[in-house]
Amino acid sequence: MTIECSQLKTAYSTALNRPILNGIDCQIKQGEFVALLGLNGAGKSTLLRSFVGLVPVKTGEIRINDTIITPRTLRRIRRDIGLIFQGGGLVKQSSAIDNVLCGCLGSLNTWETLWGFPKQQRDRAFDLLTDFGLKDLAYQKTRLLSGGQQQRVAIARALIQSPQILLADEPTSGLDVIAAQQVMEILAQLHQKQAMTVVVVLHDLGMASTYADRAIVLDAGQIVYDGKCHNLSDKLSQLTPPKVEV
């Protein structure tokens, strides 16, 4: 599946109402692995969230597989997109398997959810957790899992509907080197074996160069670099961080 943005401008409905994304033009092709980079506050999460209709579009448009995202088209397209939120976004009091099942809430009708999740979905959630080495922890409360284990639960939740696009917002933050590498390997395998289109927000430039085909660098809501993952530290060092006064 492809993602295309043209002249995308978004603003959150706050008193400031300032544009957060300010004229984004980009095309992500089927099966690409793209790293989204930039300083804190640049708009990376906002861009990912706008792909799934979680941020109001002011002007411009987003197309997924040539379909313009609108409230009407979103429901159909949303099923094909898995999103891993920054920080995991898990319900910590619920079990790992219940969190994974939350990933298919959008595709079930009210009656189905009233009677509990169908066996087919529960089996699939359990299989995914097993694939990610969490078989014995499937019924454990998520707050009792380590950061790396929670991140794998978040990936399983994004995958339960077999999406064709995977959007991952800092999936390795807070993880040790080994756990971070394991998470990236999972994403790389999904990309290679299932030709999934992957867009991942990263702060680790080494990870970006190792795994991504292409890097997009955002600065203050605009794309300032879009190309190969070469000399990324040079590209990032040209950005101006906001002044912090202590």
Return the closest-CA partner of residue 169 out of 199, 204, 137.
199
40 binds ligand ATP (CB under 6 A): yes
Tell which one of 32, 33, 35, 44 touches ligand ATP (CB under 6 A). 44
Q: In degrees to the nearest 10, what's the CA dihedral of 236, 225, 74, 92?
A: -10
Per DSSP bridges, beta strands 67-68 and 57-64 are: antiparallel
Q: Is 161 in the site for Mg ion (CB under 5 A)?
A: no
Among 41, 60, 118, 147, binds ligand ATP (CB under 6 A): 41
Using the minimum distance from each CB to Mg ion, give the nearer residue, 46 or 99: 46
**Spatial separation of the C-alpha atoms in residues 70 and 62, rounded to whole Å:** 9
Q: Does 235 bind ligand ATP (CB under 6 A)?
A: no
Q: In this complex, which beta carbon is closest to ligand ATP, that of residue 85 or of residue 126? A: 85
Q: Which is nearer to Mg ion, 86 or 194 (CB)?
A: 86
Cα–Cα distance for residue pair 169/112, rounded to 1 Å: 30
Q: Return the number of the residue (21 or 128) whose C-beta is nearest Mg ion.
A: 21
Lookup result for tokens 């530290």: 233
Helix (H) or strand (E) holding 36: strand 33-37
Residues 83-112 close enough to bind ligand ATP by CB under 6 A: 86
Tell how strand 19-28 and strand 3-11 pair up: antiparallel
Q: Give the separation between CA 204 and CA 77, rounded to whole angstroms.
A: 30
Which position among 46, 142, 161, 172 is part of the footprint of ligand ATP (CB under 6 A)?
Answer: 46
56 binds ligand ATP (CB under 6 A): no
Taking CB under 6 A as the criterion, the residue among 20, 77, 183, 236 binding ligand ATP is 20
For residue 183, give every residue at least 6 positions away whose Cβ sits within 8 Å of its Cβ, in sequence order, or none: 148, 151, 152, 155, 171, 172, 175
Is residue 45 within the footprint of Mg ion (CB under 5 A)? yes
Q: Which does 42 bind (CB under 5 to 8 A by kind): ligand ATP, Mg ion, none?
A: ligand ATP
Contact set with ligand ATP (CB under 6 A): 12, 14, 20, 38, 40-46, 86
